[in-house]
Amino acid sequence: MRLPLALCLLIAACGQTQYFTPPPVTTDLRVNVRANTAMINEPSIPEYAINQEIPIQQADGSLVTDTDRLWADLPDRALSASLMRHLNVITDAQVAVEPWPLSGFPDTEISVFVEDMIVQANGTLLFTGTFALGPETGRGRIDPFSITVPVVDQSYPTIIAAHEAAWLRLAEEIAQAL
């Protein structure tokens, strides 16, 4: 039995995976920092957020994902790239992601431990955790962060944009602590 062409196209369209990338965002913040160079270590993010599926909290607290709507990159890699991009604009330091691509050692290492990175049922992105600055010499520091960003609707472009906005705010906090 042969299926009509329209039905075949509909079936094929249902199986398409959509990939989402964060839109570019900018900041006017500029900070002169003590470090000339800084390296971002691989961030630690929760297990529910490590895959390309984008978890969304339901009213009962459960997390659901749609396997047809995915990050275009792995979230921890996307977070690293976002922090690197923003810190290179915000600060006067040269910032790269590990492994260190320049000669010698970076003046400071930046570590990020994410506790929450979730679109909550109440329509906000909750992004919390700690970041640590480990200078080659001198005293380091560990600071908590707690960032919320409104998610105006449950569309995936809006959700991804909220993540990028939260990551920019984290980059601004890190820049002011460097």
Q: For position 97, what pLDDT does the model report?
A: 97
Q: Residue 145: beta bridge partners? A: 129
Report, as ranges of residue numbers, the positions in the chain whose pLDDT lies below 70.
1-15
**What is the dihedral angle through the alpha carbons of 43, 46, 49, 51, rounded to the nearest 10 degrees?**
70
**Positive or negative torsion for Cα 46, 114, 79, 134:** negative
Q: For position 152, what pLDDT does the model report?
A: 87
CB-CB neighbours of 18 under 10 Å = 11
Helix (H) or strand (E) holding 128: strand 124-135
Q: What is the pLDDT of residues 120-160, one digit of tens each?
A: 989 999 999 999 999 888 889 999 999 999 998 888 899 99
Q: Which residues contact 77 (CB under 8 A, 6 or more apart)?
A: none
Q: For position 15, what pLDDT does the model report?
A: 65
List the CATH number of the domain containing 103. 3.40.50.10610
Domains held by the chain: number: 1
Domain range enclosing 39: 5-177
Q: For position 14, what pLDDT does the model report?
A: 56
